[in-house]
Amino acid sequence: MLLLEVAIFYRRPKHCNNSLEFETAMNNFQFDNLSKEQQDQIIIDGIQFMRTITEIAGEEHGMNLWNGIVDTLDPSVKGAIFFALITGHTGSRIRIRYANSDRFTVDRIEVIKAIRSATGLSLKEAKDLSDLAFDQQVEINNIRPGARQDLLKVLRKNGYEVC
């Protein structure tokens, strides 16, 4: 329970001097009013945090900690994280490699745009990833949950294999 108390203490905004002020601040938080990018980042971070505390504290104790923390969240956040978990949109990374022998059939612009859109990478970084995948398996990290399926669709259409 100490980890939960520490996590809540550090999550409490500096201007909140007591638990009631913190609860009021949390109740005023509106997940639905955030941008899609902010929502996606909260989902990714929430899932990663849940995995981390479960790995550190063990499955049973980690889930107890998570249940205590999740009670302080906006119901929309809980729902979004749960939905991401049950639909399999939890991975913020994928491994790919080019599976065809003909590199000229790839719509490179479409692939680079899809990587950039899903990850926020720069043009050069996205191009380098797609080029490197011609020769070896590469990992694309920090994929927003809402963008994962679109990225996979574009990659598969262009001859990339998801490993």
pTM to 2 decimals? 0.50
Beta bridge pairs of residue 162: 96
For the chain, list the domains and their CATH numbers: 2-87 (no CATH), 94-162 (3.30.1390.10)
Q: How far is CA 155 from the centre of its chain?
A: 19
CA distance 87 to 128: 30
* The residue type at 54: T
pLDDT tens track, the chain, 163 positions = 344 444 444 444 444 455 555 555 555 667 788 887 777 777 777 877 887 888 888 888 888 887 887 777 778 888 888 777 776 665 677 888 898 777 778 899 999 999 999 999 999 999 999 999 998 999 898 887 678 888 989 999 999 988 7
Using the structure block, give the residue that is written with the tokens 């949109």.
Answer: 89
SS3 assignment, position 138: strand
Report the distance separating Cα 140 and Cα 126, nearest Å. Answer: 9
| Single-letter amino acid code for the residue at 28 | N
Which helix H or strand E contains 159, and what residues bound it? none
